[in-house]
Structure formats: C-alpha cells, structure tokens
C-alpha cells in the first residue's frame, strides 16, 4: 500500500511532507510522522513556518527575553461593560465586585527557561500555579477549545501542552489566535522543542 502525501502541506518544524491521513480537517490539526509534531493547518505553508510578531491591542501582552529566560505577562483587562446592580443581596453584589476586581487587577505571568515552564496568576490566585520541567514537555500547540472545565466551550482558541505521558493540558485560553501562536512560538524557542 503506497502512502499518499498531500500536495501542499509540509511540517513547519522539519519541512517534510505530511501524509493525507494525518490531516484532520475537522479540528484543523495536522501531524508530522517525521518529527512527531502536531500543528495547526495555518502553519503548514510550503515556504516554511510563519514567524509571528508580538501582537498589540486588546490582549495586553508584555514580552521580555533576557539570558535564556522568557517572561510574558498577560493582563486580564478586556472591553467589558459591568452593570451596576442594586439587589440588596450582599452575596450577589460581592460576586459582581470580585469579578470586576479580578478582571481589572489580575495578570498571568509565563516564565520559560531551557529547564522549565511556569505559569502564575497574580495578585488574586484564581487559577492554580502550573510548573512543568522541560523533560516532561513533549510539545506545545494551539487549537480550538471544545471543552473547558467539563463543559462545552464554543469558539475561541487555547494553548495546549502535551506531556511525555500523553496527557493534554490547557495552559491559556480566551486570547486571540495570533497571540497564542506568538506565545507558542516564543516558548518553543526557549524550551528548544
């Protein structure tokens, strides 16, 4: 049985052609049999991997690279209309106030070195800290988020990490796709994936 290669899809990492049965059109993800790399179809261009530049605008991303350490800071601030509710219920008002405070103050800090990847949320520790040694990281990739916290999630993209034991972990979500692709690209450079 002969293997049929796609006409235009090449792996952005090793530049090998991708087999036709290794392209999932539904999830828009392809797999390279040569370097075992999963990647979005948007990256599969015959001229090679597209370089993403630091996005500006609504995601409030700050980028710092020095001495083999990458530090990305993402503010949670968004264009959001917060309605004022006068309910007379302390619990309801407190939850609205807490949501507003979290949205205005919180930021996610991603620190990557050649030995590890760490994600922290500050000042309100709404999401627990994540720490991954480099040996456990198999690859990073961006894809559409189907389920979040056990519930269906429609639309939006997420940055996933695949561990060496096959476990898939959602690291970041609710950001623009180009922002996530930029973060993935920069993390892969530092972690040498």
Q: Which residue has the higher pLDDT, 155 or 45?
A: 155
pLDDT score, position 6:
45
Examine the domain organization and report whether 159 and 67 are in the same domain: yes
Shared domain check, 117 and 29: no
Residues 6+ apart with CB under 8 A from 76: 102, 103, 104, 105, 106, 107, 108
Q: Give the pLDDT confidence score for residue 4 in this predicted structure.
A: 46
Confidence (pLDDT) at 134: 93
pLDDT at 117: 92
Q: Do residues 108 and 136 share a domain?
A: yes
Q: Say yes or no: 99 and 81 in one domain.
A: yes
**What are phi and psi for residue 188, nearest 5 degrees?**
-65, -35
Instruction: Specify the DSSP element, H or E, that contains 100.
Output: helix 90-105
Give me the domain span that covers residue 86.
57-191
Between CA 99 and CA 21 the distance in angstroms is 45
Query: What whole-number distance in Å separates Cα of residue 187 and Cα of residue 114?
Result: 9
Same structural domain, 36 and 85:
no
Show the tokens assigned to 31. Answer: 């797999």
Give the domain CATH number at 184: 2.30.29
Q: In what order do the strands lie in the sheet with 37-40?
A: 23-24, 29-32, 37-40
Q: How many helices (H) and strands (E) does the chain have?
A: 2, 15
CA distance 192 to 186: 10
Do both 86 and 113 map to the same domain? yes
Cβ pair 36, 66 in contact under 8 A: no
pLDDT-above-70 percentage for the chain: 66
- Pair 10, 73 in one domain: no
- The pLDDT confidence band at residue 99, using thresholds 50, 70 and 90, is confident
Question: Mean pLDDT throughout 153-176?
Answer: 83
Q: Which pLDDT score, from 0 to 100, does residue 2 have?
A: 43
On the 0-12 / 13-18 / 19+ scale of CB atoms within 10 A, 41 is middle
- H or E element: which one contains 162? strand 157-163
Q: Are residues 18 and 101 in the same domain?
A: no
For residues 43 and 33, which has the higher predicted lDDT (pLDDT)? Answer: 33
**148 and 173 part of one domain:** yes
Q: What is the pLDDT of residues 5-42, one digit of tens each?
A: 444 577 777 667 777 778 887 878 888 877 778 888 77
* pLDDT value of residue 138: 92
Distance CA 50, CA 72 (A): 20
Q: What is the pLDDT of residue 84?
A: 55
What's the whole-number average pLDDT of the chain? 74
pLDDT band for position 61 (50/70/90)? Answer: low
Residue 12 CA to residue 121 CA, distance in Å, equals 31
The domain total for the chain is 2
Residue 1 has pLDDT above 60, yes or no: no
């Amino acid at each position: 049985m002969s293997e049929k290669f796609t006409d235009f899809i090449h792996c952005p990492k090793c530049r090998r052609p991708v087999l036709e049965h290794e392209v999932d059109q539904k999830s828009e993800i392809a797999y390279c049999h040569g370097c075992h790399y999963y990647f979005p179809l948007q990256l599969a261009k015959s001229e090679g991997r597209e370089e993403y530049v630091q996005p500006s605008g609504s995601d409030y991303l700050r980028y710092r690279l020095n001495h083999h350490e990458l530090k990305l800071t993402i503010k949670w601030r968004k264009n959001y209309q917060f309605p004022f509710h006068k309910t007379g219920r302390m619990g309801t008002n407190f939850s609205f106030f807490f949501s507003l405070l979290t949205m205005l103050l919180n930021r996610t800090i991603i620190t990557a070195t050649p030995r590890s990847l760490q994600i922290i949320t500050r000042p309100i520790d709404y999401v627990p800290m994540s720490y991954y040694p480099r040996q456990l990281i198999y690859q990073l990739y961006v894809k559409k988020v189907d389920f979040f916290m056990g519930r269906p999630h429609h639309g939006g993209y997420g940055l996933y990490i695949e561990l060496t034991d096959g476990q898939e972990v959602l690291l970041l979500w609710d950001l623009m796709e180009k922002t996530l692709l930029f973060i993935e690209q920069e993390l892969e450079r530092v972690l040498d994936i």
